[in-house]
């Protein structure tokens, strides 16, 4: 498999080359399917999604694929390209060796609908369980003030484009379908971290994290962080701080005693 370069080379300014490329694309639905080969012309600067579109336009009009922005901003076109989970719109063709046959398959953790399209409704259902944002009272003049440094940390989580590649590679659910019952997955942990660390939020989600979201199942192998196209430090900045908060809440005897004595919950237990 060709490695994806850190800094892609600049496309040359010469006239488009009359190259072709061969793709093996998964075709089929939940009942049956196979890889089929398509060879199409390749132009300067194309990405994998451009090739898929060209296959659609010239050879397989019914090839099912999700995409929207083709700019890495919407997170719709997740797939496994030569076995590596990526956004098709951000994978440049010139990062592969010329002449190499490229295999494109649907992401594997979610049920197949057709061809490259999977049923990702699991993620939308899990999102409904998250206790909503609940802001504290505004400042006395009615305004809300937050410092950029406090906002920066949460803005990292808000970069998430919901491509679900992190969910796709998380072995807790990729390899164990049963775990979907009691494990929300890295995308939801990023969402929960964004809420828990929001400077204005007052809601408490630690019970959810410990129980239904199944934070404890994550054994921080960082697979999610590695595939994140937005380069969110999912494990270090979202999951580990959440784990520490849950530990403080449920297993720290000092915190337990403090709660008993004061009758109050410690809201902000973030470990930097």
Q: For residue 31, state whether it binds another protein (rule: CB under 8 A).
A: no
CA 98: distance to chain centroid? 29
Nearer to another protein, 168 or 243 (CB): 168
Residue of 24, 70, 212, 222 that binds another protein (CB under 8 A)? 70
* Residue span 177-206 as binding mask against another protein, x where in contact by CB under 8 A, dash where not: ------------------x--x-xx-----
DSSP string for residues in 51-84: HHHHHHHHT-TT-----S-SSSSS---EEEETTE
* Residue span 114-153 as binding mask against another protein, x where in contact by CB under 8 A, dash where not: xx-x-xx---x--xx-x-xx-x-------xxxxxx--x--
For another protein, how many residues bind (rule: CB under 8 A)? 67
Nearer to another protein, 199 or 216 (CB): 199
DSSP three-state, residue 136: coil
The C-alpha atoms of residue 194 and residue 234 are separated, in whole angstroms, by: 11
- Residue 16 tokens, joined: 């488009």
Query: Least Å distance between CB 160 and another protein?
Result: 8
Q: For residue 268, state whether it binds another protein (rule: CB under 8 A).
A: no
The C-alpha atoms of residue 262 and residue 27 are separated, in whole angstroms, by: 61
Q: For residue 18, state whether it binds another protein (rule: CB under 8 A).
A: no
**DSSP bridge partners of 104:** 25, 81
Query: Least Å distance between CB 119 and another protein?
Result: 8
List of residues 6+ apart from 12 with CB closer than 8 A: 44
DSSP three-state, residue 26: strand
Query: Least Å distance between CB 182 and another protein?
Result: 21
The C-alpha atoms of residue 90 and residue 142 are separated, in whole angstroms, by: 43
**Residues near another protein, by CB under 8 A:** 7-11, 13, 16, 29, 43-47, 50, 56-58, 60-76, 90, 92, 113-115, 117, 119-120, 124, 127-128, 130, 132-133, 135, 143-148, 151, 154-155, 158-162, 195, 198, 200-201
């Amino acid at each position: 498999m060709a490695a994806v370069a850190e800094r892609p080379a600049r496309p040359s300014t010469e006239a488009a080359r009359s190259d072709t490329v061969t793709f093996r694309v998964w075709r089929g639905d939940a009942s049956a399917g196979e890889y089929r080969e398509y060879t199409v012309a390749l132009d300067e600067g194309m990405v994998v999604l451009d090739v898929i579109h060209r296959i659609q336009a010239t050879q397989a009009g019914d090839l099912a694929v999700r995409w929207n922005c083709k700019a890495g901003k919407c997170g719709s076109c997740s797939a496994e390209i030569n076995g590596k989970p990526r956004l098709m719109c951000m994978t440049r063709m010139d990062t592969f060796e010329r002449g190499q046959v490229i295999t494109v398959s649907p992401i594997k953790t979610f049920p197949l609908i057709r061809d490259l399209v999977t049923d990702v409704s699991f993620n939308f259902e899990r999102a409904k369980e998250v206790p909503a944002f609940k802001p504290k009272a505004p400042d006395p003049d009615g305004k809300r003030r937050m410092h950029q440094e406090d906002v920066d940390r949460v803005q990292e989580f808000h970069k998430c484009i919901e491509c679900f590649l992190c969910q796709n590679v998380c072995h807790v659910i990729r390899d164990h379908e049963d775990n979907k019952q009691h494990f929300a997955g890295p995308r939801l942990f990023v969402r929960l971290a964004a809420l828990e660390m929001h400077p204005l939020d007052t809601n408490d989600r630690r019970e959810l994290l410990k129980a239904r979201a199944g934070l404890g199942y994550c054994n921080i192998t960082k697979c999610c962080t590695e595939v994140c196209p937005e380069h969110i430090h999912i494990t270090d900045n979202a999951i580990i701080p959440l784990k520490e908060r849950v530990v403080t809440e449920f297993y720290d005897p000092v915190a337990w005693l403090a709660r008993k004595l004061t009758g109050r919950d410690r809201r902000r237990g973030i470990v930097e």
